[in-house]
Amino acid sequence: MGVTVEETSAEMQARIAKARDCAGCDLSKIDLNGADLSGANLKEAILDGANLSNANLAEADLSGASLDGANLNGTNFNSANLKGANLSNASLISTNLVNANLRKAKIKTANVYLTNFCGATMPNGSRSMQGCS
């Protein structure tokens, strides 16, 4: 799926929502605030500096994706695959990562606050209980 500069964020959101596939797409700095991209294939997509705040990415495949500097505040990544994803410098405030796969993901320089990691597989392969009741 090619992405053109002329496409607005709303048009891009509609294309991804319909096709559920944008593997390898360059979506740097795109505004997808509040988008429903649940189950989408964003494997190896480039989302550097993107605004995905309050988006629904439950069960989405973001393995190998780059989200460097992305706004992920309030984003739902429930059961999402973020294996090997780059979350460096991303903002994850009040983000839902319940049961997400973060194995080998880069999150050390991310801004993480009030984030729910319950049941998530962490970068080192351990299971997190942070946020579990």
Domain of 25? 1-133
Mean pLDDT of 29-53: 95
User: CATH no. for residue 26?
Assistant: 2.160.20.80
* Model pLDDT for residues 69-94, shown as the tens digit of each residue: 999 999 999 999 999 999 999 999 99
Q: How many structural domains comprise the chain? A: 1
What CA–CA distance (Å, rounded) separates 112 from 3? 30
13-17, 19-23, 101-105 — most confident range: 101-105
Closest CA to 80 of 113, 42, 132: 42
Q: For the chain, how big is the Rg over CA atoms in Å?
A: 13
* Model pLDDT for residues 8-19, shown as the tens digit of each residue: 677 777 777 777
List all residues 6 or more positions away from 121 whose beta carbon is below 8 Å from its beta carbon: 100, 101, 102, 103, 127, 128
**Residue 68 DSSP class:** T
Global confidence as pTM: 0.90
What CA–CA distance (Å, rounded) separates 73 from 129? 20
